[in-house]
Chains A and B, each alone.
Chain A
Amino acid sequence: MKTLWKSGLVGLGIAMISGLGAVSVPTDAKAWEPKKPVQFIIMAGKGGGADKAVRFMQNIIAKHKLSAKPFTPINKPGGTGAEALIHLKNASDPNHTIMFTLNSFYTTPLRQPGLGVDISTFAPIGRMAEDTFLLWVNNDSGITNVEQFVKAAKAKGDAWIMAGTGKNSEDNLLTDFLNKAYGLNMKYVPYKGGGRVAKELAGNNANSTVNNPSEQLGFYQAGKTRPIAAFTPARLPLFSDAPTFRELGKDFVYFMQRTVVGAPGMSKEAATYYRQLFAEIYGSDEWQGYMTKKSLQGGFITGDILMRYWLKEKAVHKVMLQKMGAIK
């Protein structure tokens, strides 16, 4: 019985190996792998949610030896992502240039047509998650709910400082929404990166922010800041005390993509390589744990589905920017 089982196992093994061989022979012939270090561009500053995620993925790649060549994170936060988009558009070696992107992927080219960036030319590699937003205040303010927030912000008028990550960035869109929805006149002050924004709130240099959970988590745990409402369809498990704006009667839901894109002009073979690599990272225990810990949501999507998602989101953002008056 034992031997039978054993031989069955060996047989299965052989079948698997030959099966693998059958699959891998055609791919082997043209299997593409990075030939030099891969530039992993971050569309935002150091210490923000995107920055932390990229450095985390870089370490997963190194730890599990998923790539023979290293992935080098490079921050290009200038101009709400414009610097990063230009860098990708002009990449001298598109097969070794990838970027971790946010929603400024849609808004910055819409706002600055002069950049000549057409996102449909970029290579859709994989959406690793969708990040969520909450409205945060400093605990010293004594504010615990949106009602108090609105009252305090109204009283201060344009002396109420809302810190954010760049002009017309995600944070700016949400600030505009809040200003409109509650009749406020908060002043938006841009900083370099979400980490810096979180710090400005914790240090009482701003009155409120709309940070992602990962950016404020440390300060929240230390009792310095507090989320008072979430821009999500349902309450976030990590912050179950914060109601959604939907519950508060304002139907506003906003997600931010956390997506890997390839430079325009990336070869099909290279794009396939990166898709498989990032699908593997998405499935890793580390990434799944990271998503839970940072309150990230959303499944892995890639290829045409990802491209359709981009075009849909781009249309949504176009309408939002038009409403804000940022574009015509």
Chain B
Amino acid sequence: MEILSLLLNGFAIAFEPLNLALIIFGCAVGLFIGAMPGLGSVNGVAILLPMTFLVPPTSAIIFLGAIYYGAMYGGAISSIMLGIPGASTAVATTFDGRPMALQGKADKALVAAAAASFVGGSIGVVLFTLFAPPLADIALGFGAPEIFALMLMAFATFVGLGGDDVAKTLFSIFIGLVFGAVGLDIISGEPRLIFGDIPGFFHGINFLVLAIGIYGIGEMLWTIEISKGNVVVSQASVSVKGILKNLVELTRTWKAMLLGSFLGYFVGILPAAGATPGSLMAYGFAKQMAKDPETYGKGNINGVVAPESANNAASTGAMLPMLTLGIPGSPTTAILLGGMVIWGLEPGPMVFIDHPDFVWGFIASLYAANLFSLLINIAFIPAFIWVLKLPFTILAPVIFILCIVGGFVPTLSMHDVWLMLIFGIVGYLMRKLDYPMAPAVLAIVLGPLAEPALRQSLLISGGSFSIFFTRPFSSVFMFIAIALLVLPLGKQALDARRRKTERT
């Protein structure tokens, strides 16, 4: 009851005219920033941070929170329409969103992304409202062994799935891990795999560079090849009726939505993880648990719903360690944290007690931001669909330019642009040879999180792997991971034998 009255009080703050206007404006700005490849919520929040000194702190964080939310919705748009991930958090959305657009179901994919984002965001905020302090305690107790076990579980979901060649999937994961190891090692302090002494490799390979290269450039080359230049992307039509029908159909994806929301939220609250790993893991789990895993990557609507609900839930989750521990769970929350300090608020375990108006006003605004992002997003769907009506001869150069910009913006270095082009060609070749690319993307995101965690755990335990099995959370994760690895592999081996006996 106390929470309810605090929340109602928060709503009173969030619906003050100034704050409400900021929410709507923030959602709209965020949507477009998120839709631009290479520009994500990080850039949006960073660019607009100085504007917040004009308004009181509570309004300021409400505004930035709205941008953050809007960008999470917007990231899906270019992933689906152009096949270029609009933001790192929306990479997993390309896996199935782009194939859907090519099949003329872009409207369905966009509605699914928007609705899933809404569900994920809403579940995230409700969890945040009800369980912030206990969840913060769980996040606090999460050490290196738990993080490693969780990451192993995510990898396991990507191996041994029906439909994909296991050897090729493993190759894809390993090459991703190798790319993830490039750069300075945090534990020994030594540079690794910098190819002689190329300075651009010191900061590692930016994952967005790989994703834009593989999906943006690679996809463009592939489309040009199969269509010989005159692509007719089967066009989707939009109408209010169609959108409503799509929404009704979406109720069938409730499993993927709930899975994505809860998993995403949980991964989001872990310091240092954030929405990108959350959305990739949700995709992996959804595929693993599906009855028809072979349709994933070919335009399965659950493949859009799971990562989109996860990335919005995770972005809410990432606010939790920021507010309660003072540790940002994602790059965007790191910038929000900087803002809070200058507004005179010290994030940390005391913020809920010292500044209840601020915290609860902010939480309430997230409910509102979620709703407005959904409405604005759906209102713009016809405009996005129009993009697909452009002939590919016009669209391809636009995609190319957006890829170059998207590769340059995150680190402002040409090194990354060249790297992206190389990845584009490699991605195209991998596609021709029928290698799954999602596992490589997953590995380059999760590898740099998993590897130090493994080494820290082994340092703590003095080299014994028992540390992963003697702690409650990590042992559960480890057993699930092992089961996920072994079961499908065993099943495949059995199937193969059965097929052989049938043939003879």
Residues on A lying within 8 angstroms of B by beta carbon are 46-47, 51-52, 55-56, 58-60, 62-63, 70, 72-73, 75-80, 82-83, 86-87, 90, 108, 111-112, 158-159, 161, 166-168, 187, 189-192, 195-196, 198-200, 202-205, 217-219, 221-222, 224, 286, 293
The answer, among B143, B339, B346, for a CB contact under 8 Å with A59, is B339
Residues from chain B with Cβ under 8 Å of A73 in the complex: 338
- Given A59-B341, A167-B188, A222-B350, does the pair A83, B183 have CB atoms closer than 8 Å? yes
Contact of B49 among A59, A86, A187, A202 (CB under 8 A): A59
| A78 lies within 8 A of B204 (CB) | yes
Among candidates A55, A158, A192, residue contacting B338 with C-beta atoms closer than 8 Å: A55
> How far, in angstroms, from A158 to B142 measured CA to CA in the complex?
22
* Residue among A79, A112, A187, A221 making CB contact with B348, cutoff 8 Å: A221
Q: Is the CB of B53 within 8 A of A62?
A: yes
Question: B141, B190, B334, B346: which contacts A51 (Cβ < 8 A)?
Answer: B334
Query: In the complex, A187 Cα to B50 Cα: how many Å?
Result: 43
Most buried by B among A79, A167, A192: A79
Contact of B326 among A166, A168, A195, A203 (CB under 8 A): A195
Closest B residue to A286 by beta carbon equals B342
Tell me which residues across on chain A come within 8 A of B202, comparing CB atoms: 78, 82-83, 86-87
Tell whether, in the assembled complex, residue A199 and residue B271 are in contact, meaning their CB atoms are under 8 Å apart.
yes
Please name all residues of chain A whose beta carbon is closer than 8 Å to the beta carbon of B203 when the two chains form the complex.
76, 78, 83, 87
**A235 CA to B452 CA, complexed, in Å:** 36
Q: Which residues of B contact A224 (CB under 8 A)?
A: 349
Q: Is the CB of B459 within 8 A of A189?
A: yes
Taking A55-B339, A63-B50, A199-B327 as given, write out 7 further A-B residue pairs in contact, using a Cβ cutoff of 8 Å, ordered by the A residue number.
Answer: A46-B328, A59-B53, A59-B342, A78-B189, A83-B203, A205-B460, A218-B349
Within 8 A of A (CB), among B193-208: 199, 202-204
Q: Which residues in A have their C-beta under 8 angstroms from that of B190?
A: 79, 112
Kindly supply a per-residue 1/0 record for chain B positions 260-296, scoring 1 wherever the CB is within 8 Å of any chain A CB and 0 otherwise: 0000000000011000000000000000000000000
B12-56 vs A, Cβ < 8 Å mask (1 yes, 0 no): 000000000000000000000000000000000010011001000
Verify A79–B186 contact, CB threshold 8 A.
yes
State whether A195 touches B462 (Cβ < 8 A): no
Q: Is the CB of B341 within 8 A of A56?
A: yes
Contact B186 A166 (CB under 8 A): yes
A166 to B185, CA, bound (A): 10
CB distance from A93 to the nearest CB of B (A): 10
On chain B, the residues within 8 Å of A63 by CB distance are 50, 53, 342
Residue of A nearest to B184 (CB): A78
Are B338 and A59 within 8 A (Cβ)?
yes
A47 to B336, CA, bound (A): 11
Among A52, A55, A190, A199, the residue within 8 A (CB) of B186 is A190
A286 vs chain B, min Cβ distance (A): 7
B349 A161 Cβ-Cβ under 8 A: no
A78 touches B186 (CB 8 A): yes
Cβ–Cβ contact A79 & B143, under 8 A = no
| Contact A222 B348, beta carbon cutoff 8 Å | yes
Instruction: Name B456's contact: one of A46, A158, A189, A221 (CB within 8 Å).
Output: A189
CB distance from A327 to the nearest CB of B (A): 13
Q: Which 5 A-B pairs have the closest CB atoms?
A: A218-B348, A55-B338, A78-B184, A222-B349, A205-B143
Complex: A161 Cα to B460 Cα, angstroms: 7
Task: Please state if B341 and A205 are interface contacts (CB–CB under 8 Å).
Answer: no
Q: Tell me the bound Cα distance from A87 to B326 in angstroms.
A: 28
Nearest Cβ in chain A — how far from B128, in angstroms?
A: 19
Residues of B contacting A59 in the complex (Cβ-Cβ under 8 angstroms): 49, 53, 338-339, 341-342
Give the complex CA separation of A86 and B452 in angstroms: 22
Mark interface residues in B304-346 (1 if CB within 8 Å of A CB, else 0): 0000000000000000000001111001001101110110001
Contact of A47 among B183, B186, B334 (CB under 8 A): B334
Asked if B248 is at the interface (CB within 8 A of a chain A CB), the reply is no
Knowing A56-B342, A59-B339, A286-B342, say if A82 contacts B191 (CB, 8 Å): yes
Q: Which of A62, A187, A200, A219 contacts B143 (CB 8 A)?
A: A200
> Chain A contacts of B142 at CB under 8 A?
203, 205
Contacts of A75 in B (CB 8 A): 334
The reply to whether A47 and B460 contact each other, CB–CB distance below 8 Å, is: no
A219 to B325, CA, bound (A): 8
B85 interface contact, C-beta 8 A: no
Least distance between B359 CB and chain A CB atoms (Å):
14
Checking A46, A166, A219, A222 against B334 with a beta-carbon cut-off of 8 angstroms, the contacting residue is A46
Please name all residues of chain A whose beta carbon is closer than 8 Å to the beta carbon of B349 when the two chains form the complex: 218-219, 221-222, 224
Residue of B342, B347, B452 with most chain A CB atoms under a 10 A cut-off? B342
User: B395 near A: Cβ within 8 Å?
Assistant: no
Residue of B nearest to A224 (CB): B349
Identity of the chain A residue whose Cβ is nearest the Cβ of B322 in the assembled complex:
A47
Chain B residues near A58: list those with CB within 8 A: 338
The verdict on B187 contacting chain A, using a C-beta distance below 8 Å, is yes
Contacts A55-B341, A76-B203, A217-B348 given; does A187 touch B326 at CB 8 Å: no
Q: Can you list 6 A-B contacts (CB < 8 A)?
A: A52-B338, A62-B50, A76-B203, A83-B203, A166-B189, A205-B143
A159 nearest in chain B by CB position:
B462
Tell me, in angstroms, the Cα distance from A97 to B372 when the chains sit together.
Answer: 39
Q: Which residues of B contact A189 (CB under 8 A)?
A: 144, 456, 459-460
Contact residues in B for A219 (Cβ distance below 8 Å): 348-349
Q: Is B8 engaged at the interface, CB distance under 8 Å to the other chain? A: no
Q: How far is the CA of A60 from the CA of B344 in the complex (A)?
A: 12
Instruction: Closest A residue to B351 by CB, please name it.
Output: A218
B140 within 8 A of A: yes
Q: Are B327 and A195 in contact (CB under 8 A)?
A: yes
Interface pair B342/A80, CB less than 8 Å apart: no
Q: Are the C-beta atoms of A203 and B141 separated by less than 8 Å?
A: yes
Within 8 A of A (CB), among B337-375: 337-339, 341-342, 346-350
Q: With A and B bound together, what is the CA distance between A97 and B248 in angstroms? A: 53
* A62 with B49: CB separation less than 8 A: yes
